[in-house]
Amino acid sequence: MTESETLEELLNFFKALAESNRLKIIGLLAQQPHTVEAIADALGIGVSTTSHHLARLAKAGLVSAKADGHYYVYSLHTEILEDMAQRLLHKETLPALGESSQNDVFERKVLNTFLDEQGRIKTFPSQEKKFIVLLRHCLNDFEIQKHYSENEVNDILSRFNDDVATLRRGMIEFHLMARQNGGSDYWVL
C-alpha cells in the first residue's frame, strides 16, 4: 500500500469515528447487535440520523447489517476495528505520514524558488536533490507507457527550459526515463 493510500485509509477510518453518536453506536454494538430503531431509541436521535451514521460506519467496514424480518440488525466488526488500528497506527506507519509532509514542503519550496509564474525553470540548482525535484515536475507532462522520439521529448522539455539536453540527460541519469535505439526511443520509468 502506498503512502497516499495509507493516508487516505487512515483519514476515512478517523472520519468514521469522528462523531460522538458514531462512537456511541460502536459502544452499543460492542455489547450486542442492534436494530436501527433500537440504536435510535438508546441514543435519543432519529432513525434517519442513525441510519446515516450506520452507513458511514459500514463504509469504513466497521459494521454490517443482516436482514431479520422487517428489520436490519447491525453488528460491529471488532476484528476490523482492531486490524485497522494496529495496521494504520503501527509505530512504523505513523512516522512515514510526517515524512511525506516534509517531502511535500521541500518540493514546494524548490518549485517556488526555481520556477517562474508560467512553470518554466529559471535556473538549474547545483544540488542534485533539488534538480531531481525539477525533473519530476517536468515528468508530469509525459504519459506512462508511451514511447517518445527524441524530438517529442525535446518538444515537451522545451516547455520547461530551453536547455532540453540538460533536462533529457538528467531524466536518463536519474532513472526517470529510459532510452534505446541510439536515443530514438524514450519512455517514462
Spell out the domains of the chain, with CATH numbers in brackets: 3-87 (1.10.10.10), 101-188 (1.10.10)
- Tell me: the pLDDT tens digits for 145-171? 889 999 999 999 999 999 999 999 999
Where are the strands (E) in 4-84, listed by range?
A: 34-35, 63-68, 71-76
Indicate the residue type of 31: Q
**Cα–Cα distances in angstroms (integers) from residue 79 to residues 30, 40, 86, 161, in the given order:** 11, 24, 10, 54
Output the pLDDT for position 103.
63
Contact between 78 and 50 (Cβ < 8 Å) = no
pLDDT at 92 over 70: no
Q: Are the beta carbons of 134 and 110 closer than 8 angstroms?
A: yes
8 A C-beta contact, residue 62 and residue 14 = no
